[in-house]
Structure formats: structure tokens, C-alpha cells
Amino acid sequence: PAAQYLSDAVVATGLVGEPLAVGRAAYGRLVGVATGSLRALTGERGAARVLGRGRKGDPAPPALPVSVALVPPGRIRVAVTMPLEVRSVLPLPPPWGTADASSSKGPSWPLVIDVESEYVVDPSSGTIAEHRLLETRINGRLTPADQLTRWLRGGMGDAS
């Protein structure tokens, strides 16, 4: 979220509640690394592109699907979906690629990353005191870290 809404002591926590970053500066670095990595992956020379988005110079791309819900008491739940297409950096022979060896474009595969987080609002200041990572899914399936976290907490429930 925008920096003006963050508490100076904001805490980012991982799947088991472990602190990933404490304080506004550390939180900013954490978010910077995450967004920088995504930009590198989806950049002009990256191995992936966001589906529905064109190439450089095309009209403005559509926004990523985001869901926001207010959850009492004083929490904001946010779910972001990143539909990607991952390209092979090397042309592959059939059945994975094209039979045309002169083709510079290799095959591609869909990759959908879903991230769900929760922001906890400090009632006294109205600022965000904590950012909790709740769940990540790759192509609709929980990541191994999410599966392990659910197992450690005592139940898998819907592990898919």
C-alpha cells in the first residue's frame, strides 16, 4: 500500500506468522525486492509476460485482477491474481516446441500466481500495522510452503 498509510513500525509476516520485515524502511525494501523480481521476470527480456498485456509501445495494459474485502475487526483482505505466460528461452523440438528450427520463439506455458494477504489496521492511528501473507497458489494449487504451513498448523483441509 501507499507509504502514507503505513505505521512506522509496520510488520510484514510470513505464512506461519514469522516476521519478514519490521519497520517502514525494511518493509519498503521487501516490497521493492518482490516487485523488482516480478518486473525482471516480465520485462522486455524476461522469461514471462503478463497475459492480456501487449508489448512495449502498445496501448495501456489492463490492470491485474484484484479483490479487496473489509474484514472485521480492522482488517483488509487483498487477493491479487497474476496471469502469466512463461516462454522457453530455447526453441524446443516437438512435442514441446515447434518443428521449425529457425523459429526464435520457443513454446510457452500458462502460469497463474494468486497471492492473498491481509492488512491489519491500528485502530488508534488508522495506519497499517501489519501485512500478513495468508496464501499463495500457482496454477490454482497451494505452493509447497503453503501446504507445509497447513500441515504444521494441524490440518490440510483443501490442499489443492
Place of cell 519498503: 28
Reported as a single tens digit per residue, the pLDDT across 91-109 is: 666 665 554 444 445 677 8
Reported as a single tens digit per residue, the pLDDT across 3-34 is: 889 999 999 999 988 999 999 999 999 999 99
Query: What would the grid cell of residue 14 be?
Result: 510470513
Cα separation, 70 vs 73, whole angstroms: 9
Cβ atoms within 10 Å of 126's Cβ, excluding its own? 10
How many helices (H) and strands (E) the chain has is answered by: 2, 8
pTM listed for this prediction: 0.76
Task: Fill in the amino acid letter for 113.
Answer: I
